[in-house]
Amino acid sequence: MTNATETAPGSALISVPRGLKNVIVTDTTIGDVRGDEGFYHYRQYDATQLARTEKFEDVWHLMIHGSLPDQAQSTAFTQQVGELRALDAATIDLLRRAVTPGVEPLAALRLALASAGILEQPLFDLDEAARTRAALRYAAIAPTVVAAAFRLAQGLDVIDADPSMGHVADYLRMSTGNTDEQAISALQTYLITTIDHGFNASTFAGRVVASSGSDMTSSILGALGAFLGPLHGGAPGRALAALDDIGDPANTRDWVRGKIESGDVIMGFGHAVYRTHDPRAQLLKEVVQARYDSPLVQHAVAVEGEIETAINELKPGRKLYANVEYYAGVLMSEVGLPPAMFTPTFGVARIVGWTANILEQAAEGKIIRPVARYVGPEPKRGA
């Protein structure tokens, strides 16, 4: 592929890098990732600082309404999304009939969203207030559906939503029964860090669907479909599995050499955007070290250092650092979530970012319509 600024020979079309790498496709006020600086933000706020100081609902308000709420707004918004979190009887019945052992929680979410939105109107026909109500509704029920599906797949009773609880606290309680304040606080930090992260594949997919004027549910499902791919949303569990695979940190160098020689990806290390330390990984590392002095945390920290050293020795000049998935799996394990819930938990946060982007795209009113460069056999014109 040629550079994004070059013109394809014989045409006015612009040829861009594979994967649209570094190609600007639109303007946004939602946030950005500055990979060379190791920094990302939501609106005008440092995202990691928000994760340190704010509650999930307040950052959600920021993403949807464009500002951090004052106390009265925070109380009202928390109550609003709390009331939306409960599932209706029809959705619960659908999940009871559809979820069997082996069904993934995010597959159940896909089903529940499709069912809930069956009579939904296109975004093109809705005003801003109606679009926002739809965005809040679907983001609010996501943790309830995921938690219910997880429990049903294990043959456990569903724990109903409690509108009086905070979003993160209720999700952890509905999933595991855990109401420990330290666990809730740690999980909230993680969920805030993963609400949004630039124009990743799932966010872009959701915006493409929304650009056609389609409905909120279809736009979210487009994002969710991209998110389900193992190159996108499925990494936290794989990173934690690598820790088990390595075992003793002394084995790390040989393990890394084997991965490099076979051309395998070192899960939990490196990022498509960051060229320095991932700020999300650094924050989550701080959280787990401060709150959980456990063998798992100690093991993860030791192995992280060994992997970085091994990469520097075996591939000089190749800077690969721990990414968010590396410590996300550790944190979720410490709060009591099993590997089967790692990616679904990631999705519970990211749906807030998706809906914010979908609302912004719907307001733009312009369909996304790129072109592909044909490289097949020369076509034969009719006589």
Selecting among 54, 57, 304, 325, the annotated active-site residue is 325
How many Cα atoms within 13 Å fall on the side-chain side of residue 55?
15
Beta carbons of 196 and 350 less than 8 angstroms apart = yes
- % helix, strand, coil for the chain, step of 5: 60, 5, 35
143: Cβ contacts below 8 Å, ≥ 6 apart = 85, 167, 170, 171, 174, 175, 348
Distances (CA, A) of 296 to 8, 13, 266, 299, 346: 53, 53, 19, 5, 20
Task: Return the residue matching tokens 């307001």.
Answer: 363
What six digits make up the tokens of 134? 């739809």
Determine how many CB atoms are found less than 10 A away from the CB of residue 82. Answer: 19
Q: How distant is the alpha carbon of residue 196 from its chain centre?
A: 7
> Of 162, 178, 151, whose CA–CA distance to 95 is shortest?
151
DSSP secondary structure of 284-344: HHHHHHHH---HHHHHHHHHHHHHHHHHHHHSTT----B-HHHHHHHHHHHTT--GGGHHH
Selecting among 197, 271, 304, 334, the annotated active-site residue is 271
283 vs 288: CA distance, rounded Å? 9
Q: How distant is the alpha carbon of residue 319 from its chain centre?
A: 24
Beta carbons of 153 and 113 less than 8 angstroms apart = no
Q: Is 299 a catalytic residue?
A: no
Q: Is 360 a catalytic residue?
A: no
210 vs 195: CA distance, rounded Å? 19
β-pairing, 45-46 vs 31-34, is: unpaired
18 vs 4: CA distance, rounded Å? 10
9 vs 15: CA distance, rounded Å? 10
340 vs 241: CA distance, rounded Å? 12
Active site members: 271, 325
